[in-house]
Structure 1
Amino acid sequence: MQLSAEFLITSLIVVASPGTGVLYTLAAGLSRGRGASVAAAFGCTLGIVPHMLAAVLGLAAVLHTSALLFQIVKWLGVAYLLVMAWQTLREHGALRVETEETPKTRSRRDIVVTAVLVNILNPKLSLFFLAFLPQFVAAGEAAPLQRMLELSAVFMLMTFAVFVVYGVAAAAVRTHVITRPAVLSWMRRAFAAAFVALGAKLALAER
Protein backbone atom coordinates (compact mmCIF):
# COMPACT_ATOMS: atom_id res chain seq x y z
CA MET A 1 0.00 0.00 0.00
CA GLN A 2 1.46 3.30 -1.13
CA LEU A 3 0.75 6.44 0.83
CA SER A 4 1.31 9.92 -0.51
CA ALA A 5 3.18 12.53 1.48
CA GLU A 6 0.15 14.80 1.09
CA PHE A 7 -2.10 12.25 2.82
CA LEU A 8 0.32 11.68 5.69
CA ILE A 9 0.97 15.38 6.28
CA THR A 10 -2.70 16.34 6.06
CA SER A 11 -3.69 13.48 8.36
CA LEU A 12 -1.05 14.46 10.91
CA ILE A 13 -2.23 18.07 10.94
CA VAL A 14 -5.85 17.00 11.39
CA VAL A 15 -5.03 14.47 14.11
CA ALA A 16 -2.69 16.75 16.07
CA SER A 17 -5.05 19.74 15.98
CA PRO A 18 -6.59 20.36 19.42
CA GLY A 19 -10.16 19.14 19.66
CA THR A 20 -12.53 17.33 21.98
CA GLY A 21 -10.64 14.03 21.77
CA VAL A 22 -7.28 15.64 22.48
CA LEU A 23 -8.80 17.57 25.38
CA TYR A 24 -10.32 14.45 26.93
CA THR A 25 -7.10 12.45 26.52
CA LEU A 26 -5.08 15.22 28.19
CA ALA A 27 -7.58 15.37 31.05
CA ALA A 28 -7.40 11.60 31.53
CA GLY A 29 -3.59 11.68 31.65
CA LEU A 30 -3.50 14.57 34.12
CA SER A 31 -6.09 13.13 36.48
CA ARG A 32 -5.59 9.37 36.30
CA GLY A 33 -2.18 8.71 34.82
CA ARG A 34 -0.64 6.98 31.83
CA GLY A 35 -2.93 3.95 31.69
CA ALA A 36 -6.05 6.11 31.66
CA SER A 37 -4.63 8.33 28.92
CA VAL A 38 -3.95 5.30 26.71
CA ALA A 39 -7.51 4.08 27.35
CA ALA A 40 -8.83 7.53 26.39
CA ALA A 41 -6.70 7.55 23.23
CA PHE A 42 -8.02 4.11 22.31
CA GLY A 43 -11.62 5.19 22.93
CA CYS A 44 -11.24 8.35 20.86
CA THR A 45 -9.76 6.31 18.03
CA LEU A 46 -12.57 3.76 18.29
CA GLY A 47 -15.08 6.60 18.14
CA ILE A 48 -13.80 7.45 14.66
CA VAL A 49 -14.85 4.07 13.25
CA PRO A 50 -18.57 4.86 12.76
CA HIS A 51 -17.70 8.10 10.97
CA MET A 52 -15.15 6.33 8.78
CA LEU A 53 -17.66 3.63 7.85
CA ALA A 54 -20.34 6.23 7.24
CA ALA A 55 -18.07 8.07 4.84
CA VAL A 56 -16.84 4.93 3.08
CA LEU A 57 -20.35 3.53 2.66
CA GLY A 58 -21.82 6.86 1.66
CA LEU A 59 -24.04 7.18 4.73
CA ALA A 60 -22.55 10.58 5.51
CA ALA A 61 -24.34 11.85 2.41
CA VAL A 62 -27.62 11.01 4.14
CA LEU A 63 -26.51 12.96 7.20
CA HIS A 64 -25.57 15.84 4.94
CA THR A 65 -28.97 15.97 3.24
CA SER A 66 -31.09 15.27 6.33
CA ALA A 67 -31.33 18.48 8.35
CA LEU A 68 -33.30 16.79 11.13
CA LEU A 69 -30.84 13.92 11.58
CA PHE A 70 -27.88 16.30 11.56
CA GLN A 71 -29.51 18.56 14.17
CA ILE A 72 -30.39 15.62 16.44
CA VAL A 73 -26.84 14.26 16.47
CA LYS A 74 -25.38 17.76 16.78
CA TRP A 75 -27.45 18.77 19.80
CA LEU A 76 -26.82 15.44 21.51
CA GLY A 77 -23.12 16.18 21.11
CA VAL A 78 -23.53 19.72 22.46
CA ALA A 79 -25.45 18.44 25.48
CA TYR A 80 -22.81 15.79 26.17
CA LEU A 81 -19.99 18.35 26.06
CA LEU A 82 -21.86 20.63 28.47
CA VAL A 83 -22.41 17.71 30.83
CA MET A 84 -18.68 16.97 30.70
CA ALA A 85 -17.95 20.63 31.49
CA TRP A 86 -20.29 20.55 34.51
CA GLN A 87 -18.85 17.27 35.77
CA THR A 88 -15.33 18.64 35.43
CA LEU A 89 -16.20 21.62 37.61
CA ARG A 90 -17.93 19.34 40.11
CA GLU A 91 -14.86 17.06 40.25
CA HIS A 92 -16.85 14.09 38.92
CA GLY A 93 -15.77 14.18 35.31
CA ALA A 94 -12.66 14.12 33.16
CA LEU A 95 -10.48 15.80 35.80
CA ARG A 96 -11.53 13.78 38.83
CA VAL A 97 -8.17 12.99 40.40
CA GLU A 98 -7.37 9.46 41.50
CA THR A 99 -4.40 8.61 43.70
CA GLU A 100 -3.14 5.48 45.39
CA GLU A 101 -5.04 6.49 48.51
CA THR A 102 -8.38 7.06 46.78
CA PRO A 103 -10.57 4.35 45.25
CA LYS A 104 -10.66 3.95 41.50
CA THR A 105 -13.98 5.61 40.68
CA ARG A 106 -13.83 4.88 36.96
CA SER A 107 -12.70 1.75 35.20
CA ARG A 108 -10.73 1.75 31.98
CA ARG A 109 -13.92 0.62 30.26
CA ASP A 110 -15.78 3.72 31.48
CA ILE A 111 -13.00 5.94 30.14
CA VAL A 112 -13.11 4.20 26.76
CA VAL A 113 -16.91 4.47 26.56
CA THR A 114 -16.81 8.20 27.36
CA ALA A 115 -14.08 8.76 24.79
CA VAL A 116 -16.05 6.86 22.13
CA LEU A 117 -19.15 8.97 22.80
CA VAL A 118 -17.11 12.17 22.58
CA ASN A 119 -16.31 11.42 18.94
CA ILE A 120 -19.50 9.60 17.90
CA LEU A 121 -21.68 12.57 18.88
CA ASN A 122 -20.00 14.90 16.41
CA PRO A 123 -21.76 14.75 13.02
CA LYS A 124 -19.11 16.98 11.45
CA LEU A 125 -16.65 14.07 11.55
CA SER A 126 -18.71 12.02 9.09
CA LEU A 127 -18.91 14.96 6.71
CA PHE A 128 -15.19 15.61 7.10
CA PHE A 129 -14.24 12.07 6.12
CA LEU A 130 -16.73 12.11 3.26
CA ALA A 131 -14.82 15.08 1.84
CA PHE A 132 -11.35 13.97 2.99
CA LEU A 133 -10.93 10.35 1.93
CA PRO A 134 -11.99 10.54 -1.77
CA GLN A 135 -9.29 13.16 -2.41
CA PHE A 136 -6.64 10.48 -2.00
CA VAL A 137 -8.28 7.81 -4.15
CA ALA A 138 -7.20 7.92 -7.79
CA ALA A 139 -9.92 8.20 -10.41
CA GLY A 140 -8.83 4.94 -12.00
CA GLU A 141 -8.48 3.01 -8.71
CA ALA A 142 -9.43 -0.63 -9.28
CA ALA A 143 -10.79 -1.11 -5.75
CA PRO A 144 -11.78 2.31 -4.37
CA LEU A 145 -13.63 0.88 -1.36
CA GLN A 146 -10.61 -1.15 -0.28
CA ARG A 147 -8.38 1.88 -0.82
CA MET A 148 -10.53 4.07 1.43
CA LEU A 149 -10.56 1.40 4.11
CA GLU A 150 -6.76 1.22 3.95
CA LEU A 151 -6.46 5.01 4.25
CA SER A 152 -8.93 4.94 7.14
CA ALA A 153 -6.84 2.34 8.96
CA VAL A 154 -3.70 4.48 8.59
CA PHE A 155 -5.58 7.56 9.81
CA MET A 156 -6.77 5.66 12.88
CA LEU A 157 -3.27 4.40 13.68
CA MET A 158 -1.96 7.94 13.46
CA THR A 159 -4.78 9.16 15.68
CA PHE A 160 -4.01 6.58 18.36
CA ALA A 161 -0.26 7.23 18.25
CA VAL A 162 -0.58 11.02 18.47
CA PHE A 163 -3.20 10.87 21.22
CA VAL A 164 -1.03 8.49 23.25
CA VAL A 165 1.84 10.97 22.99
CA TYR A 166 -0.47 13.74 24.22
CA GLY A 167 -1.78 11.60 27.06
CA VAL A 168 1.57 10.25 28.22
CA ALA A 169 3.03 13.77 28.16
CA ALA A 170 0.14 14.96 30.34
CA ALA A 171 0.63 12.00 32.70
CA ALA A 172 4.33 12.88 33.03
CA VAL A 173 3.47 16.21 34.68
CA ARG A 174 0.54 14.77 36.65
CA THR A 175 2.33 14.85 40.01
CA HIS A 176 3.15 18.53 39.62
CA VAL A 177 -0.54 19.24 39.02
CA ILE A 178 -2.40 17.13 41.58
CA THR A 179 -0.09 18.17 44.43
CA ARG A 180 -0.99 21.81 43.88
CA PRO A 181 -4.68 22.46 44.66
CA ALA A 182 -4.61 25.96 43.19
CA VAL A 183 -3.19 24.69 39.89
CA LEU A 184 -5.67 21.80 39.79
CA SER A 185 -8.58 24.17 40.45
CA TRP A 186 -7.40 26.46 37.66
CA MET A 187 -7.07 23.52 35.27
CA ARG A 188 -10.57 22.30 36.10
CA ARG A 189 -11.98 25.68 35.19
CA ALA A 190 -9.85 25.84 32.04
CA PHE A 191 -10.90 22.36 30.87
CA ALA A 192 -14.56 23.06 31.68
CA ALA A 193 -14.37 26.29 29.69
CA ALA A 194 -12.75 24.41 26.80
CA PHE A 195 -15.55 21.81 26.77
CA VAL A 196 -18.12 24.64 26.75
CA ALA A 197 -16.27 26.38 23.91
CA LEU A 198 -16.19 23.17 21.86
CA GLY A 199 -19.89 22.68 22.57
CA ALA A 200 -20.61 26.22 21.37
CA LYS A 201 -18.54 25.63 18.24
CA LEU A 202 -20.50 22.45 17.51
CA ALA A 203 -23.80 24.25 18.20
CA LEU A 204 -22.93 26.83 15.53
CA ALA A 205 -21.86 24.19 13.02
CA GLU A 206 -23.83 23.93 9.82
CA ARG A 207 -24.07 21.02 7.41
Structure 2
Amino acid sequence: MDGITNLWAFMAAGLLLNLTPGPDTFYILGRSTAQGSKVGLLSALGIGLGSLGHTLLAAFGLSALLATSAMAFLAVKLLGAGYLLWLGVKMLRRPGSSVAGDAARLEAARPGKILREAFFTNLFNPKVALFFLAFLPQFVKPGATALSFVILGLTFVATGLAWCTLLALLSARLGDWLRRKGVAQRLDQLCGGLFILLGINLLFARLKH
Protein backbone atom coordinates (compact mmCIF):
# COMPACT_ATOMS: atom_id res chain seq x y z
CA MET A 1 0.00 0.00 0.00
CA ASP A 2 1.38 3.39 -1.02
CA GLY A 3 2.97 5.23 1.91
CA ILE A 4 2.72 2.25 4.28
CA THR A 5 5.26 -0.48 4.93
CA ASN A 6 4.81 -3.88 6.62
CA LEU A 7 1.04 -3.58 7.11
CA TRP A 8 0.70 -7.17 8.32
CA ALA A 9 3.45 -6.65 10.88
CA PHE A 10 1.64 -3.52 12.05
CA MET A 11 -1.62 -5.44 12.43
CA ALA A 12 0.08 -8.20 14.43
CA ALA A 13 1.87 -5.73 16.68
CA GLY A 14 -1.29 -3.67 17.13
CA LEU A 15 -3.27 -6.74 18.14
CA LEU A 16 -0.66 -7.69 20.72
CA LEU A 17 -0.70 -4.17 22.11
CA ASN A 18 -4.50 -4.27 22.34
CA LEU A 19 -4.23 -7.43 24.41
CA THR A 20 -2.13 -5.60 27.02
CA PRO A 21 -4.34 -4.78 30.05
CA GLY A 22 -5.01 -1.10 30.65
CA PRO A 23 -7.84 1.36 31.45
CA ASP A 24 -9.87 0.26 28.42
CA THR A 25 -9.70 -3.40 29.40
CA PHE A 26 -10.69 -2.76 32.99
CA TYR A 27 -13.53 -0.45 31.96
CA ILE A 28 -15.02 -3.09 29.65
CA LEU A 29 -14.58 -5.82 32.26
CA GLY A 30 -16.29 -3.73 34.92
CA ARG A 31 -19.20 -2.73 32.70
CA SER A 32 -19.75 -6.14 31.08
CA THR A 33 -19.60 -8.24 34.22
CA ALA A 34 -21.92 -5.88 36.10
CA GLN A 35 -24.41 -4.96 33.38
CA GLY A 36 -24.20 -7.53 30.60
CA SER A 37 -23.10 -7.80 27.00
CA LYS A 38 -25.15 -4.91 25.58
CA VAL A 39 -23.53 -2.39 27.91
CA GLY A 40 -20.15 -4.04 27.35
CA LEU A 41 -20.52 -3.71 23.58
CA LEU A 42 -21.46 -0.04 23.95
CA SER A 43 -18.33 0.40 26.08
CA ALA A 44 -16.23 -1.27 23.37
CA LEU A 45 -17.74 1.05 20.76
CA GLY A 46 -17.00 4.12 22.88
CA ILE A 47 -13.39 3.06 23.30
CA GLY A 48 -13.15 2.44 19.56
CA LEU A 49 -14.40 5.98 18.95
CA GLY A 50 -11.76 7.27 21.37
CA SER A 51 -9.07 5.45 19.39
CA LEU A 52 -10.50 6.98 16.22
CA GLY A 53 -10.13 10.39 17.82
CA HIS A 54 -6.48 9.62 18.58
CA THR A 55 -6.02 8.52 14.97
CA LEU A 56 -7.24 11.86 13.64
CA LEU A 57 -5.23 13.81 16.22
CA ALA A 58 -2.08 11.87 15.37
CA ALA A 59 -2.59 12.37 11.66
CA PHE A 60 -2.96 16.12 12.04
CA GLY A 61 -0.29 16.84 14.61
CA LEU A 62 -1.68 16.96 18.15
CA SER A 63 0.24 13.85 19.19
CA ALA A 64 3.43 15.60 18.10
CA LEU A 65 2.45 18.59 20.23
CA LEU A 66 1.97 16.35 23.29
CA ALA A 67 5.40 14.84 22.71
CA THR A 68 7.19 18.19 22.55
CA SER A 69 5.13 20.49 24.79
CA ALA A 70 5.41 19.84 28.51
CA MET A 71 2.44 22.14 29.20
CA ALA A 72 0.17 20.35 26.74
CA PHE A 73 1.19 16.95 28.08
CA LEU A 74 0.66 18.09 31.67
CA ALA A 75 -2.81 19.44 30.91
CA VAL A 76 -4.00 16.27 29.20
CA LYS A 77 -2.26 14.10 31.81
CA LEU A 78 -4.03 15.81 34.71
CA LEU A 79 -7.36 15.63 32.91
CA GLY A 80 -6.94 11.94 32.12
CA ALA A 81 -5.66 11.02 35.59
CA GLY A 82 -8.52 12.89 37.23
CA TYR A 83 -11.04 11.09 35.06
CA LEU A 84 -9.57 7.65 35.89
CA LEU A 85 -9.56 8.47 39.61
CA TRP A 86 -13.18 9.60 39.41
CA LEU A 87 -14.19 6.37 37.67
CA GLY A 88 -12.30 4.31 40.25
CA VAL A 89 -13.94 6.02 43.22
CA LYS A 90 -17.32 5.73 41.52
CA MET A 91 -16.90 1.96 41.09
CA LEU A 92 -15.68 1.49 44.68
CA ARG A 93 -18.70 3.35 46.04
CA ARG A 94 -21.26 1.66 43.80
CA PRO A 95 -23.79 -0.29 45.91
CA GLY A 96 -23.98 -4.05 45.64
CA SER A 97 -27.44 -4.03 44.09
CA SER A 98 -26.23 -2.17 41.01
CA VAL A 99 -23.21 -4.43 40.67
CA ALA A 100 -25.43 -7.46 40.86
CA GLY A 101 -27.41 -6.07 37.98
CA ASP A 102 -30.60 -4.61 39.43
CA ALA A 103 -33.05 -4.72 36.52
CA ALA A 104 -34.47 -1.25 37.01
CA ARG A 105 -31.03 0.35 37.03
CA LEU A 106 -29.94 -1.58 33.95
CA GLU A 107 -33.00 -0.49 32.01
CA ALA A 108 -32.33 3.10 33.03
CA ALA A 109 -28.74 3.00 31.77
CA ARG A 110 -28.42 5.53 28.96
CA PRO A 111 -26.41 4.38 25.92
CA GLY A 112 -25.11 7.91 25.43
CA LYS A 113 -23.67 8.04 28.95
CA ILE A 114 -21.93 4.69 28.52
CA LEU A 115 -20.47 5.77 25.17
CA ARG A 116 -19.22 9.05 26.65
CA GLU A 117 -17.56 7.40 29.64
CA ALA A 118 -15.78 4.82 27.46
CA PHE A 119 -14.84 7.46 24.88
CA PHE A 120 -13.25 9.77 27.44
CA THR A 121 -11.53 6.88 29.23
CA ASN A 122 -9.58 6.30 26.02
CA LEU A 123 -9.31 9.87 24.73
CA PHE A 124 -8.07 11.39 28.01
CA ASN A 125 -5.07 9.07 28.23
CA PRO A 126 -2.04 10.96 26.82
CA LYS A 127 -0.07 7.71 26.77
CA VAL A 128 -2.36 6.54 23.97
CA ALA A 129 -1.60 9.68 21.97
CA LEU A 130 2.12 9.22 22.53
CA PHE A 131 1.79 5.57 21.53
CA PHE A 132 0.30 6.65 18.21
CA LEU A 133 3.16 9.09 17.73
CA ALA A 134 5.86 6.51 18.52
CA PHE A 135 4.30 3.45 16.91
CA LEU A 136 2.65 4.58 13.67
CA PRO A 137 5.70 6.31 12.10
CA GLN A 138 7.59 3.01 12.17
CA PHE A 139 5.23 1.71 9.48
CA VAL A 140 5.01 4.86 7.34
CA LYS A 141 7.39 5.61 4.47
CA PRO A 142 9.29 8.92 4.46
CA GLY A 143 7.25 11.70 2.91
CA ALA A 144 3.94 9.89 3.38
CA THR A 145 0.82 12.02 3.73
CA ALA A 146 -1.59 12.15 6.67
CA LEU A 147 -3.73 9.60 4.81
CA SER A 148 -1.17 6.89 5.60
CA PHE A 149 -1.47 7.66 9.30
CA VAL A 150 -5.26 7.58 9.03
CA ILE A 151 -5.21 4.17 7.32
CA LEU A 152 -2.90 2.71 9.95
CA GLY A 153 -4.95 4.26 12.72
CA LEU A 154 -8.18 2.85 11.32
CA THR A 155 -6.52 -0.56 11.08
CA PHE A 156 -5.53 -0.31 14.74
CA VAL A 157 -9.05 0.80 15.66
CA ALA A 158 -10.55 -2.17 13.79
CA THR A 159 -8.33 -4.76 15.48
CA GLY A 160 -8.83 -3.08 18.85
CA LEU A 161 -12.60 -2.99 18.41
CA ALA A 162 -12.61 -6.69 17.50
CA TRP A 163 -10.71 -7.53 20.69
CA CYS A 164 -12.86 -5.25 22.86
CA THR A 165 -16.02 -6.81 21.42
CA LEU A 166 -14.76 -10.31 22.21
CA LEU A 167 -13.74 -9.19 25.69
CA ALA A 168 -17.18 -7.67 26.30
CA LEU A 169 -19.01 -10.83 25.21
CA LEU A 170 -16.79 -13.19 27.20
CA SER A 171 -16.79 -11.09 30.36
CA ALA A 172 -20.59 -10.69 30.12
CA ARG A 173 -20.93 -14.48 30.18
CA LEU A 174 -18.57 -14.59 33.12
CA GLY A 175 -20.66 -11.86 34.71
CA ASP A 176 -23.73 -14.12 34.74
CA TRP A 177 -21.75 -16.67 36.73
CA LEU A 178 -20.32 -14.04 39.03
CA ARG A 179 -23.75 -12.65 39.82
CA ARG A 180 -25.00 -16.11 40.71
CA LYS A 181 -22.03 -16.59 43.01
CA GLY A 182 -22.46 -13.15 44.59
CA VAL A 183 -18.89 -11.99 44.01
CA ALA A 184 -19.50 -9.34 41.33
CA GLN A 185 -19.16 -6.55 43.87
CA ARG A 186 -15.64 -7.70 44.70
CA LEU A 187 -14.73 -7.62 41.01
CA ASP A 188 -16.22 -4.14 40.74
CA GLN A 189 -14.10 -3.04 43.69
CA LEU A 190 -11.03 -4.64 42.12
CA CYS A 191 -11.63 -2.80 38.83
CA GLY A 192 -12.22 0.44 40.74
CA GLY A 193 -8.96 -0.02 42.61
CA LEU A 194 -7.13 -0.69 39.35
CA PHE A 195 -8.57 2.50 37.85
CA ILE A 196 -7.28 4.46 40.84
CA LEU A 197 -3.82 2.88 40.51
CA LEU A 198 -3.78 3.65 36.78
CA GLY A 199 -4.80 7.23 37.49
CA ILE A 200 -2.01 7.63 40.05
CA ASN A 201 0.45 6.06 37.63
CA LEU A 202 -0.67 8.49 34.94
CA LEU A 203 -0.06 11.41 37.30
CA PHE A 204 3.57 10.37 37.57
CA ALA A 205 4.04 9.76 33.85
CA ARG A 206 6.92 11.79 32.46
CA LEU A 207 7.32 13.43 29.13
CA LYS A 208 10.09 11.67 27.21
CA HIS A 209 12.00 13.60 24.59
Task: Say whether the fold is shared (TM-score over 0.5).
Answer: yes
Match of 2:111 in 1: 108
Alignment partner for residue 78 of structure 1, among 65, 77, 81?
A: 81
Match status 1:193 vs 2:193: yes
SS of equivalent to 2:165: helix
Higher relative helix content: 2
Match of 2:42 in 1: 39
Structure 1: runs of 5 or more not aligned = none
Shift of 1:68: 1.7
Match of 1:130 in 2: 133
**80-89 or 163-172, larger mean C-alpha shift:** 80-89
Q: TM-score, normalised by structure 2?
A: 0.89
Alignment partner for residue 92 of structure 2, among 89, 94, 97?
A: 89
Match status 1:4 vs 2:7: yes
Shift of 1:149: 1.2
Match of 2:173 in 1: 172
Match of 2:29 in 1: 26
Shift of 1:17: 0.8
Match status 1:59 vs 2:70: no
Alignment partner for residue 49 of structure 1, among 33, 37, 52?
A: 52
Q: Is the 8 A contact 2:73 2:126 kept in 1?
A: yes
Deviations 1:80-116 (A, max 9, x none): 1111111111116xx7443435553421111110000
Q: Is the 8 A contact 1:133 1:148 kept in 2?
A: yes
Letter in 1 for 2:12: I
Q: Is the 8 A contact 1:82 1:199 kept in 2?
A: yes
Letter in 2 for 1:44: I
> Counterparts of 2:47 and 2:159 in 1: how far apart (Å)?
12
Quote the sequence identity (%). 30
Q: Cα distance 1:103–1:36, how it changes in 2: closer, same or farther (>3 A)?
A: closer
Match status 1:119 vs 2:122: yes
Match of 2:184 in 1: 184
Q: Higher relative CO (CA 8 A, sep ≥ 6), structure 1 or 2? A: 2
Shift of 1:19: 0.7
Shift of 1:33: 0.8
Q: Cα distance 1:97–1:46, how it changes in 2: closer, same or farther (>3 A)?
A: farther
Q: Cα distance 1:31–1:145, how it changes in 2: closer, same or farther (>3 A)?
A: same
